[in-house]
Structure formats: C-alpha cells, structure tokens
Amino acid sequence: MCLGIPMRLVKINGDEGMAESGGLKRAANLSLLKDARVGDYILIHAGFAIEKLKTEEARKTLKALREIGA
C-alpha cells in the first residue's frame, strides 16, 4: 500500500522542489504539476509531486494522521 502525505512546498528550482511536513524534508520532481508554487501543499509519491491540495484539505489530513499516531 502506498500513502501520499501532504507536504508544503518550500523551494523550487526548475522541475525540482523541496517539500516539508512535520520537520521532515523530501525532494520532489515537479514536472507533473506545472502550476506548483512555494507555499502550496502537494502529495509526493515515488519522488514525484502528483497532486496539488487545497490548504484546508491538507491541514485536515495532517491532523487526522497525527491523531492516528497518538
């Protein structure tokens, strides 16, 4: 099973980006998301940003994941 975790995009350099969530940082290929911007929440799978999320949706998902882990 694969799970995409919402992460906030903090840096963009061409088709490469850096995203973070909960202190964890991951590199992401942004070639599938032509309109990604710093500050956007994205889902990363196998090193690729596969979807852009609305901020509220990402925050709800992250909150639910924290509650599961508690």
Which CATH number fits the domain that encloses residue 55? 2.30.30.140
Q: Is residue 1 part of a domain?
A: no
Instruction: Give the per-residue pLDDT at 5.
Output: 86
Q: What pLDDT score was predicted for residue 65?
A: 87
Instruction: Tell me whether residue 11 is in a domain.
Output: yes
Task: Show the domain range for 65.
Answer: 6-69
pLDDT in tens, 12-66: 999 999 999 989 999 999 999 989 999 999 999 999 999 999 999 999 999 998 8
Per the document, the length of the chain is 70
- Residue 51 is predicted with a pLDDT of 94
Q: Which of these, 44, 39, 31, lies nearest to 2 by C-alpha position?
A: 44
Where do we find the tokens 């350099």?
Answer: 13
The one-letter amino acid code at 33 reads: L
Which residues lie across from 27 on neighbouring strands?
18
d(CA 20, CA 56): 17
- Structural domain total, the chain: 1
**Residue 12: both structure tokens together:** 């963009």
The pLDDT of residue 30 is: 97
Torsion angles phi and psi, residue 12, rounded to 5: -130, 135
pLDDT of amino acid 69: 77
